[in-house]
Structure 1
């Protein structure tokens, strides 16, 4: 049990050392992740569409 209490004490001390991002930074990072994800999803959807189109042309020749 003392090891567990020591673990929580040390964890609490470490959490006090953390430098948390500001609200503006968090918002900017979140928006960046969302837009990059949407961009990649659109890119892969387009690539998938054209690969599928090409494959259908090869099969239906």
Structure 2
């Protein structure tokens, strides 16, 4: 069974844990956000190219055997 904690003690413990959190700076957040957009764009371009290659291959096969 869980032990009961005084609500005031719980809030103190939560505040103590939150004070240990290291928050990123505005610069770190901006750089990370830009990197996410760059990587998403690179992934989209990669999968677009792979899709076109597969489409080209399948179209060629269907032209030959179809």
Both structures adopt the same fold (TM-score exceeding 0.5): yes
Note the C-alpha offset of 1:13.
1.6
Q: Which runs of 5+ in 2 are unaligned?
A: none
Note the C-alpha offset of 1:4.
7.8
Structure-2-length-normalised TM-score: 0.76
Q: Which runs of 5+ in 1 are unaligned?
A: none
1:29-40 equivalence runs, <5 A: 29-40=32-43
Structure-1-length-normalised TM-score: 0.81
Note the C-alpha offset of 1:18.
0.7
Correspondence 1:23 to 2:17: no
Q: Would you tell me which structure has more helix in proportion to its own residues?
A: 1
CA radius of gyration, larger in: 2
Question: What is the RMSD computed on CA atoms of the aligned residues?
Answer: 1.7
- 4+ runs deviating over 3 angstroms: none
